[in-house]
Amino acid sequence: MNRLNGKTAVITGGATGIGRAAAKRFIDEGAFVFIFGRRQEALDAAVAELGPNARAVMGSVSDEADLDRLYAAVKAERGTLDIVFANAGVGSQLKLGEITAKHIDETFDVNVKGTIFTVQKALPLMGEGGSIILTGSSAGTTGAPAFTAYSASKAAVRNLARTWAEDLKGTGIRVNVLSPGAIATELATEALGEDGLKAYGSMTAFQRMGAPAELGAAAAFLASSDSSFMTASEVAVDGGLAQL
């Protein structure tokens, strides 16, 4: 398929997991993709796999100067931008009674502030037909034990899409949320451990964890004109976790 032929995309958190899977799918469908992440080694490995239609920029979404460098690179090579997948996120467990200010700040700096500035700084390069995709989470709907800060941050991301759909009226730019649930990514493995992953997967209607490629396919739908009459929406790719 060539639904994204000639399009330019930015994917934050693009070196691994859902971001990398989405980058592969976008490129397979004709896009040119800039991946953005904090680890140069992981970025290099991703670009080596993704091929000549991928570029990597190292940085953190919590650092505005890093985002400025990202979009300067996009403008210099491509001129304009069609798709922003604000996918970078962090999450770790702390039970109520153990939560610290540092933990809250680290989570919200990436998941909320980082998402806001990823999108805001992209807008001067975007125009009619543009698609913004935010990574939410089933935890933003249901909550999750010991994930207070993460769950709250993802609930905030869901509301950003509603607010921005209003702000973007008349521009022709859409903004939607892609909300994974039990997906077997490096972040999930780090947060839950192998036993936790198995238990989490067993809670879905399919009795398994989802694959990053399944999220990549949904992201490609939201990036393409197939979703041209969708904005402020949430697409849950969670095996029914937050739906049943």
pLDDT at 200 over 90: no
In eight-state DSSP terms, residue 94 is B
Q: What pLDDT sits at residue 191? A: 73
- d(CA 22, CA 135) in angstroms, rounded, equals 12
- d(CA 194, CA 173) in angstroms, rounded, equals 40
Contact between residue 223 and residue 32 where contact means Cβ atoms under 8 Å apart: no
Q: Categorize the per-residue pLDDT at 66 as very low, low, confident or very high, splitting at 50, 70 and 90.
A: very high
Give, rounded to a whole angstrom, the gap between the first and last alpha carbons of the chain. 33
- d(CA 9, CA 31) in angstroms, rounded, equals 7
Predicted confidence (pLDDT) per residue in 4-53, tens digit: 999 999 999 999 999 999 999 999 999 999 999 999 999 999 999 999 99
Q: What pLDDT sits at residue 179? A: 97
Architecture of the domain whose range is 8-237: 3-Layer(aba) Sandwich (3.40)
Catalytic residues: 150, 154
Cα dihedral: 162, 167, 173, 175 (round 10): -20
pLDDT at 187 over 80: no
Average pLDDT for the chain: 96
Contact between residue 20 and residue 46 where contact means Cβ atoms under 8 Å apart: yes
Predicted confidence (pLDDT) per residue in 71-95, tens digit: 999 999 999 999 999 999 999 889 9
Tokens in use for 176? 């939607």
